[in-house]
Amino acid sequence: MRLGNKFKLFEKGISSFIDLLLALLIIVVLIVMGEAIFTIITHVIPLASMEELSILIEEVATLFILLEIILMLLRYVKEGHHIPVRYLILISITAILRELLLAQGEGVETLFLALSILVLVFVLFILERIKAFHKSDSEL
């Protein structure tokens, strides 16, 4: 029994350490978001060329990805150290959309990016249907 108590104490210590590291990670991401906001402000005011507009769009898209990451980390701590797959898929969709907005290349690349978003949305749809199926079974 004494070994079990030591293990629980060790587990609690590791969990607290992970929470501390996550808090530091959130602070770092907030600093990067602050830098992105500063870049947005400095490029919005003059906006003299199309290159600056491209930088503005890239920074705004990056800001949304960083926001999603912070929300995912907060959810991870709130849910008891569990990340729902749905959040990872949503962050992936956001990252692909960012790439799609910034892609100024070939049509094939754009098509593949759009297809990857379609596949991820389909996966989200399937996950929601499975979750609804399990809820209806447990209600019976």
Say whether pTM exceeds 0.85. Answer: no
CB 29 within 8 A of CB 35: no
Q: Which pLDDT band holds residue 138 (cuts at 50, 70, 90)?
A: low
Q: What tens digit of pLDDT does each residue of 3-50 get?
A: 778 888 988 898 889 889 988 998 998 998 898 888 788 877 677 777
Contacts 24+ apart (CB under 8 A), 71-78: 73/22, 73/25, 73/26, 73/29, 74/26, 76/22, 77/19, 77/22
Q: Which long-range contacts (CB under 8 A, 24 or more apart) does 127-130 make?
A: 127/85, 127/86, 127/89
Task: Parse the chain into domains and list their residue ranges.
Answer: 1-81, 84-139
Which tokens sit at 68? 């999603």
